[in-house]
Amino acid sequence: MNAPALDPRTVDFLRSVPVGVTTDGETLIVGDGEIEYRVTPEDDLLVVEWVLRAVPRETVRLATGSTVLDTFLIVSHANAWRGAHDFPLLDLWGQQESSPEGLTVVEEKSGWSVTLADAPLRLLAAEMRQAHATRLARALALPLETLLTAVQDPEGGGVYGRVPPPQD
């Protein structure tokens, strides 16, 4: 089995955060050495392990064969990219009570999942925190190019609002 592949636009974006994008056998590693996402294929899913200072912290499961992994990594690194480029942070979270059209965020025993609204058995992501599942669903509703453009636009590309500056 090979390591999961990313869209070249995603790789370019991640490297400009800057974080490394490497492989180790069948594992894709995205990170800076202190914080890493280790992505390994397992059956029909991708297991994404979030590692902080060499200690595994959380694991989520993502669908294969679509832009789910690319989208997950882009939204996970969006505000880091913006900080590195002196742009204000974006509100990537949106309303936790609502799901974008065509997608459903549902609570399950192992955490929150994102599924297709018209095919609830078609899992896109699982074992997530509610806020992270909502953030991913909101981003999955966009074409990859639109997501990248919005994240890299100083004002959020009309998709995301800016985080208000702190009040003194």
Hey, where are the domains in the chain? 8-153
In the prediction, which pLDDT does 95 show? 54
Residue 8: how many other CB atoms lie within 10 Å: 8
Quote the pLDDT of residue 99: 63
Whether the Cβ atoms of residue 71 and residue 139 lie closer than 8 Å to each other: yes
Parts of the chain with a pLDDT under 70: 94-100, 120-121, 165-168
| Token couple for 4 | 């999961």
Residue 167 has a pLDDT of 64
Q: How far apart are CA 28 and CA 47, in angstroms?
A: 10
